[in-house]
Structure 1
Amino acid sequence: VKVYDVGSQQRVAFVERPRTEAAAVAAAGGPAAAGARPSLQWAPGGTELVIGWSSCVKVCKVRSGGPGPGAAGGAAGVGGGGSPGNALTRASVDVVATLGCDGTLCGVAHMLAPSPTPHADAGARQLVMLVCPGPEAVEGGVQARAHTQQRPELRLVDMSNEELASDALSVRGFDAYYPPDYRLVCAPAREDAYDALSSGEALYYVVSPKDIVLACARDADDHVMWLLSKGRFEEALAECGIAGWAAAGDSQTRRLKASTLDEVGAAYLGHLLAQHEYERAAAMCPALLRGSTEAWERWVFHFAHLRQLPALAPHIPTTAPQLRPTCYEVVLNGLLAADAGKGAHETLLECVRAWPASLYSAPDVTAVAEARLSTLEAEVRAAGGGIDFTDGAASEGAALRPLREAMAELYVIAGAHERALGAFLDAGDGARAVGFVRRRRLWGAARARCAALLKHGGAAAAAILAEHTSEVSTSAVVAAVDAAIARARASDASSTDGEVAQLRGALNKYLDALFERDPTAGAEVHGRQVELYAEFAPDRLMRFLRASPYYPLEDALAVCQRYNLHSEAVYVLGRMGSAEQALQLVLGELRDVPRAVEFCADQADDDLWDELVARALEDPELAGELLEHVGAHLNPLRVLRHLPEGVPIPHLRDRLARIVSDFRTQSSLREGCNAILKADCAQAADARLASGRRALRVPVVLDSSVLASNDPMNTPVPRRGKRGIQGSGRCCLCLEPIIGTGGEAGRKGFVAFYCGHTYHTSCLEMAERDENVGAGAGAGEEGAGAQVPWR
């Protein structure tokens, strides 16, 4: 191959054919020599030339010697790669690589990158070869025509002659063709290409007598589609960078077409559904469908066809994208149509709570739900032997609870609050029912369903009904619970006893909450409340017995005896006046000496103490305990004197020692208290004496006029000043100033009392004489001399 520079009008290089191949071609001559012509291919920019012979490829590097006079123009490029000399003067060519070929080479070209930039050789480091495999001629590589031909191969190799990829081409009549019958032509990418097949990429044409094969470089989409064709779905997902797989990167994902991503998602979902992995397929939908409304709707209907909507429903989007209302209604109706107890109704409840009501027609869904609930209730009643489950009374009705809760949520959406409350109670959701009543103030509906509300609402329902007795009266609640108990006892259900006990326990919680708020409320049922306390809360009965005076004592005693509540029975006997019987119960049944001592102390009856001592001395063990506990309330000598002789008392010596020790301690405490009292009295006397020795302040009245004594507003009244009590400064009899600035008032003596009243001495003497005269003259006359004005 001779390289000619049109710019300098001279040959610049001569690339020699391999010697072995040259000798074989010369010897063959004829058509074989014509078929052994080399293939030439210029790299973009004209800086590299590839020359291919039948068994050898040489890569030549063209180096420019500098610009010449022909730089402004030039001829067209050679081999489709542009002219090598349009900007070169006195160029040189160096062979930089020589590659061998296993087979007969029919053509060679550079592997071009898409949309190459000018003078860029990004794809020049890889070569595309069209090779006919098979045995070679002995004389240097010309294919023997007597041999049956194989399919031509399109190979991709790098500059180290390592094969990167290889594809065998299905060409019609390939078994009759020979290497000279094939050509490989490269068409570089063009930005202004109008051919839809080019897509901005370099195209490779493999030309044969009957077929033209168009090839291009495989991109990420081709690779992903190839992975799908091989069933390697996880690798395809990794290439797409979706669904949480080990992605190839954002740049890789951006190069993929949207149609490729959609096809990958559809293929993988179809594969999972074919394997019956419905849960996994549903969980993958948000990542695989990529927010496509059409894709979501298509797969919703597909899952509905497979009856696998319970798996898909939690993953259906409500925004971005938002589907048509029909899709959401299809999902809800599909969940309603599922059998109870298989998780579909739980999913329905979650969807109704999570989805905005604007996504679907709530009235239509509610109507379907009502019909479905009626059907399932009929089936459950038939299976349970005619039992009514509308109040959630039987265990078989637990399977319908999610559906009833969903019905309640639908009623709330529709604004039917009373029906929603009934649905909450039918579902057994007492907490939601109580909160709903409080929030919506549904006291009328609560009055109608108060028995079910107490049964399922527990302490919260009891508290709210006890708090609003003006809206729901106590008598109405008790009557409703009694009616529910009567219905439960009238049924033939095996769970009647449990139902009755549950209702009675609920009534006890309500009455207890009512009693905590107001001990006088519900007084008409306090007798019944004693039995409820004894049955369900015996630890709270004593407090009730002490606080309430409204229960019949005889009935309360009978209840306490029936439930063996001895402490409570003792209290009731004490209130009935049967103290001796109560004491006998304490000592006989309870054998509780401290409780007996406390009971006698509460009764404050001396005869009862004698009874206690007498009964305790009948049992040596009780006598010993009495000695140990009676010291704080009774003189121990009273017990010791009555101890029978010769009867052994357990731990008598220790108990006597303790009695003596306690007596000494009490004596010491008494002496100490007496000493403290004496010291306090002495201190108070000293304070009184010091107070009596202090001066008493009597103010000076500058106005010496006499006040009108018959005017009650002018009566001198002592007042408390900053330094203690002080008088008004006037005599309480004559109302003249005690201390004046002159005149008669200033020369009179006076008497001042610590209470603040002051008197002239002469006024006191005159009043005393008048009192004596009045007492002697008119002792029988009413009122005469009986009043002293200054007292």
Structure 2
Amino acid sequence: QVQVFGLYSGEEFHDTFDCPIKIVAVHPQFVRSHFKQFVTGGKKLLLYERGWMNRWKPSVLHEGEGNIRNVKWRGHLIAWANNMGVKILDMISKQRITNVPRDDISLRPDMYPCSLCWKDNLTLIIGWGNSVKICSVKERHASEMRDLPNRYVEIVFQFDTEFYISGLAPICDQLVILSYVKEISDKTEVECCARPRLDIVQPLPESCEEISSDALTVRGFQENECRDYHLEYAEGESLFYIISPRDVVVAKERDQDDHIDWLLEKKKYEEALMAAEISQKTIKKHKILDIGLAYVNHLVERGEYDLAARKCQKILGKNTELWEFEVYKFKEIGQLKAISRYLPRRDPVLKPLIYEMVLHEFLEGDYEGFATLIKEWPGDLYNNTIIVQAVVDHLKKDPQNRTLLRTLAELYTYDQRYGRALEIYLTLRHKDVFQLIHKHNLFSSIRDKIVLLMEFDSEKAVDMLLDNEDKISIDRVVEELENRPELQHVYLHKLFKRDHHKGQRYHEKQISLYAEYDRPNLLPFLRDSTHCPLEKALEICQQRNFVGETVYLLSK
């Protein structure tokens, strides 16, 4: 028996047949008065049309090829499947335009029925057994028609699936396939029914690419057959209905939130974070920050501490509370060093205690790392006095440690205690000592340290002293070098080269210095100096048996 009811009208049709009816399909625009048509499938494909006096008139569209178990009507095209294959009828011309035979004739059509769905008005998708065909209805060129239908069908995609097909549905350019699955039991080694699968695939010319796959848990799946499952969908809605003898499962197209859920379940945190960032305006369930924090925790659990710390820069951004919370977490697992390189130094700035805690961690076992942080971090991030005292305490245990001394000098410099910094630099003979003096005008602090400067780098020291005579006089320098005549000579020699007259009061002293430390330059000095006492010079040269210099002096 077939009955057709109007949900929002009083229309009704019912009739009794002398054979079982397997399928019914109404015209896609049945609600309109000009399209009151439907077809039934059993031994025959019957078309019912409402005619004169609102009576329904049946006509046979097809018969003689076994039971018709599936019919799909789209636009002016009706597709149906019987025991032999799939046919398409053009309702305008009332002509059958194709016959697509079934591939595997060994499968019983009642146990493994054909699945049909229209993707659009001209594209039919056929699934039968484990074969999928995508057929395109095309217009025949006028010159080719003769006695042929004005339309024909071309199979544009064809591929096989791993399992038997129970249902098909289009989703954009992809395909939803409901599959009946059999597998070998591990215990009995006998083939048994498994949970049905819902796959999304991307059709390719001769194969397909799996986009996603889900096994569905329905009641009684162990006893179900391929024919017991059906897949239905409503056009315009992203809802799919999986029908089994005991359950109806509703599946919906995944949105970005669902995709992120799946990525998080698979522990693909970086991909989940990227997906959330791309879709941050549309996601409703997830927050970028929560995903990021979960990613950091995941990396920490895996022992990837450096990567976890590096990701904090992007994930935590300017949130100081979260930064401080993460730093304490890294401290608990003994990985403060890992996060030290990535701590914010400007906008935002964390509490001084955070930076001091990290510095103390390095100071306990990594002097070089400590020195690097002091050099890289702005001095206003932490309490300089506290860190200076900590370094001083460590120097009591290791007073000659050059790394700690150098770092202490840098801390003193930031604290504007330049005198103390200078003492350390001079002790270490550090190359930055001259830069420090110039930059901070420390000439008053080096009056009693001239010997140390000269011992470190006599050339730079002399140039600096001569360039700043107004700050440290020539007399003061000569006095400081009195007990180091070799250094005194270097200074006075450079002074004489610059100006023959500035150090004239020391020319007599220089005769002895040249004679002792620099004889090659003695004769040029005697020639160029106008303030040199000749008698003293002659006496020294004769005592030392300097023939050339003595001859020159006697000739004058």
Q: TM-score, normalised by structure 1?
A: 0.44
Counterpart Cα distance in 2 of 1:314 and 1:551: 69
Pick from 139, 158, 180 the counterpart of residue 132 of structure 1.
180
Pick from 335, 343, 347 the counterpart of residue 359 of structure 2.
335
The residue aligned with 1:460 is 460
Q: Is the 8 A contact 2:269 2:291 kept in 1?
A: no
2:215 pairs with 1:169: yes
Pick from 403, 411, 414 the counterpart of residue 410 of structure 1.
414
How far the C-alpha of 1:169 sits from its partner, in A, is 0.8
Q: Is the 8 A contact 2:163 2:181 kept in 1?
A: yes
Q: Is the 8 A contact 2:371 2:404 kept in 1?
A: no
1:106 maps to amino acid:
S
Aligned length: 445
SS in 1 for 2:193: coil
SS in 1 for 2:222: helix
How far the C-alpha of 1:132 sits from its partner, in A, is 1.2
Counterpart Cα distance in 2 of 1:428 and 1:329: 33
The residue aligned with 2:370 is 345
1:293 to 1:93, Cα distance in 2 relative to 1, 3 A: farther
SS in 2 for 1:15: strand
Counterpart Cα distance in 1 of 2:516 and 2:334: 55
Pick from 190, 194, 198 the counterpart of residue 150 of structure 1.
194
The residue aligned with 1:106 is 166
Structure 2 alignment gaps of length 5 or more: 1-22, 38-46, 48-76, 87-100, 140-149, 184-189
Q: Is the 8 A contact 1:108 1:130 kept in 2?
A: yes
How far the C-alpha of 1:407 sits from its partner, in A, is 0.9
| Within-5 A mapping of 1:43-442 | 43=119, 47-50=122-125, 52=127, 59=134, 96=155, 103-110=163-170, 112-113=171-172, 123=173, 126-134=174-182, 148-155=192-199, 156=201, 158=203, 160=205, 162-165=207-210, 167-169=213-215, 171=217, 173=219, 174-186=221-233, 202-206=238-242, 209=246, 212=249, 214=251, 216=253, 222=259, 229=266, 254=278, 263=291, 267=295, 271=299, 274=302, 278=306, 285=311, 289=314, 292-294=317-319, 313=340, 316=343, 318=345, 322-326=347-351, 330-331=354-355, 334-335=358-359, 337-339=361-363, 342-352=367-377, 355=378, 360-361=380-381, 364-381=382-399, 396-412=400-416, 416-418=417-419, 421-422=422-423, 424-425=425-426, 428-429=429-430, 432-442=432-442
Q: Is the 8 A contact 2:492 2:503 kept in 1?
A: no
1:434 maps to amino acid:
F
**Deviation digits for residues 199-230 of structure 1 (CA, Å, limit 9, x no counterpart):** xxx34454554684746358799499759948
Give % identity: 17
2:447 pairs with 1:447: yes
2:168 maps to amino acid:
V
1:410 to 1:575, Cα distance in 2 relative to 1, 3 A: same
Counterpart Cα distance in 1 of 2:429 and 2:361: 22
Counterpart Cα distance in 1 of 2:78 and 2:403: 92
Q: Which has the higher strand share?
A: 2
SS in 2 for 1:371: helix
Computing the radius of gyration over CA atoms, which structure comes out larger, 1 or 2?
Answer: 1
**Deviation digits for residues 523-569 of structure 1 (CA, Å, limit 9, x no counterpart):** 5797489459845x56545555664647995xxxxxxxxxxxxxxxx
2:231 maps to amino acid:
L
Q: TM-score, normalised by structure 2?
A: 0.59
Counterpart Cα distance in 1 of 2:335 and 2:230: 56
How far the C-alpha of 1:378 sits from its partner, in A, is 0.8
Q: Is the 8 A contact 2:512 2:540 kept in 1?
A: no
1:508 to 1:223, Cα distance in 2 relative to 1, 3 A: farther
1:335 maps to amino acid:
L
2:81 pairs with 1:16: yes
Q: Is the 8 A contact 1:206 1:213 kept in 2?
A: yes
Structure 1 alignment gaps of length 5 or more: 65-90, 114-122, 136-145, 191-201, 242-251, 382-395, 486-502, 554-571, 587-594, 606-791
Counterpart Cα distance in 1 of 2:339 and 2:508: 57
Q: Which has the higher helix share?
A: 1
Counterpart Cα distance in 2 of 1:17 and 1:3: 15
Q: Is the 8 A contact 2:112 2:128 kept in 1?
A: yes
How far the C-alpha of 1:325 sits from its partner, in A, is 3.1
SS in 2 for 1:293: coil
**Deviation digits for residues 20-40 of structure 1 (CA, Å, limit 9, x no counterpart):** 8999xxxx99xx96x877655
SS in 2 for 1:472: coil
Q: Please, what is the CA RMSD of the aligned residues?
A: 5.6
2:209 maps to amino acid:
L
1:169 maps to amino acid:
A
Pick from 596, 603, 609 the counterpart of residue 554 of structure 2.
603
Q: Is the 8 A contact 2:368 2:403 kept in 1?
A: no
1:17 to 1:103, Cα distance in 2 relative to 1, 3 A: farther
Counterpart Cα distance in 2 of 1:37 and 1:433: 92
Q: Is the 8 A contact 1:527 1:551 kept in 2?
A: no
1:223 to 1:38, Cα distance in 2 relative to 1, 3 A: same
1:150 to 1:525, Cα distance in 2 relative to 1, 3 A: farther
Counterpart Cα distance in 1 of 2:486 and 2:301: 52
SS in 1 for 2:392: helix
How far the C-alpha of 1:376 sits from its partner, in A, is 2.5
Counterpart Cα distance in 2 of 1:526 and 1:228: 92
